[in-house]
């Protein structure tokens, strides 16, 4: 009987894995034409300077609106795009669209608005990646200092030599680099010494629990102090309540983003939001 149960468990896993495979293959087939069919959009989530309460920029977050599937979350389709290599054309489109939009905002009177773009390791490891970034900046006319690229810890740790050279070239272009989801990847901090990054994005898992859990608050404080002593800035992700913003300000965290300030929104909604945000001095 135990054997039969074991077989059933295996069959169960088999079927679940098969279903997952079929669903991934289906998504991949639909994703292949998504760019051409104009189904991809960028939403933007404002980032706030915690000390002055002003808006300093926005993170571009990709959205896939499929006519039948509806809105597909990036958590679902980015891994598929990475595995298939589709992330390369998609990522190039994201960067170009984000830079174009940021330039348009600057031309409309937002002089120092920085746009942050998420990068996949697959894009980053392409030999022509830096050239793509340089071309994008040149074509859109966005000042390099107004583009921030979000890297991940795992990207910096694998294949450190090629990565080191790429990071050097990106910094030479004059753009900003941040580390996304900081604290959730490998615990080695050695790479902070090797790589010339500008900002740590403190992962939302630490931020969310801060007011209930002393350990999370201690970690956030430690990250902020370490960052500052290395000359880096910090931004807290996932700030959902005003008391979290107050605690972060007390811990001397520089910047924040999260539902408390604004949800990610279409570019067209940003200007209206900015007007109301400036009027109410967001975050103070
Ligand atoms: P991420 O870069 O860490 O982005 C933060 C995620 O947290 C976003 O989810 C954002 O909508 C969400 N978020 C923001 N504020 C709050 C908050 O207060 N509470 C909570 N619970 N969540 C908040 P989203 O847009 O679903 O993106 C998920 C992930 O997908 C991103 O995590 C990023 O890793 C990836 N991603 C998004 N756009 C791109 C892209 O253009 N390229 C690549 N390679 N990855 C992307
Ligand atoms: Mg990000
Ligand atoms: Mg993050
Ligand atoms: Mg992430």
Residue 31 in contact with residue 81, Cβ under 8 Å?
yes
Which tens digit of pLDDT belongs to each residue from 120-172? 999 999 999 999 999 999 999 999 999 999 999 888 887 667 889 999 999 99
- Helix axis angle, 87-107 relative to 74-84, nearest 10°? 120
Flag whether the pTM goes above 0.90: yes
> Among 71, 72, 74, which is best to mutate for testing ligand 1, by the most ligand atoms less than 8 A from CB?
74
Q: What are the structure tokens assigned to 145, written together? A: 């200092």
d(CA 182, CA 209): 15
User: Which residue's CA is the nearest one to ligand 1's atom 23?
Assistant: 238
What is the whole-number distance in angstroms between the Cα of residue 230 and the centre of ligand 1? 26
* Tens digits of residue pLDDT in 192-222: 888 889 999 999 999 998 988 899 999 999 9
Band the pLDDT of 76: cuts 50, 70, 90: very high
Decide whether any atom of ligand 1 lies within 6 Å of the 10 Cβ: no
Please report which helix (H) or strand (E) contains residue 70, including its range: strand 70-72
d(CA 66, CA 80): 15
- Element spanning 268, H or E: helix 267-280
Atom index in ligand 1 nearest the CA of residue 43 equals: 25
Q: What is the ipTM metric for this complex?
A: 0.97
């Amino acid at each position: 009987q135990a054997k039969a149960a074991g077989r059933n468990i295996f069959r169960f896993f088999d079927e679940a894995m098969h279903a997952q495979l079929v669903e991934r293959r289906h998504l991949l087939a639909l994703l292949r034409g998504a760019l051409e069919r104009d189904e991809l959009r960028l939403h933007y989530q404002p980032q706030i300077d915690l000390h002055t309460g002003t808006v300093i920029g926005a993170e571009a977050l990709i959205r896939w609106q499929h006519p039948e599937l509806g809105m597909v979350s990036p958590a679902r389709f980015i891994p598929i795009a990475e595995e298939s290599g589709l992330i390369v054309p998609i990522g190039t489109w994201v960067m170009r669209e984000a830079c174009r939009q940021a330039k348009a905002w600057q031309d409309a009177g937002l002089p120092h608005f920085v746009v942050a773009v998420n990068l996949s390791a697959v894009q980053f490891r392409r030999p022509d990646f830096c050239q793509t970034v340089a071309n994008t900046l040149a074509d859109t006319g966005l000042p390099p200092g107004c583009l921030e690229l979000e890297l991940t810890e795992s990207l910096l740790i694998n294949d450190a030599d090629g990565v080191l050279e790429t990071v050097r070239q990106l910094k030479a272009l004059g753009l900003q680099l941040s580390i996304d989801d900081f604290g959730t990847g490998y615990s080695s901090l050695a790479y902070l010494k090797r790589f010339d990054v500008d900002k740590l994005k403190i992962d939302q898992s630490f931020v969310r629990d801060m007011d209930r859990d002393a350990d999370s608050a201690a970690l956030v404080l430690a990250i902020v102090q370490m960052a500052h002593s290395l000359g880096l800035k910090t931004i807290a992700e996932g700030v959902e309540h005003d008391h979290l913003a107050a605690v972060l300000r007390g811990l001397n965290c520089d910047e924040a983003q999260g539902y408390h300030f604004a949800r990610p929104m279409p570019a067209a909604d940003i200007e209206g939001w900015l007007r109301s945000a400036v009027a109410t001095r967001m975050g103070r």
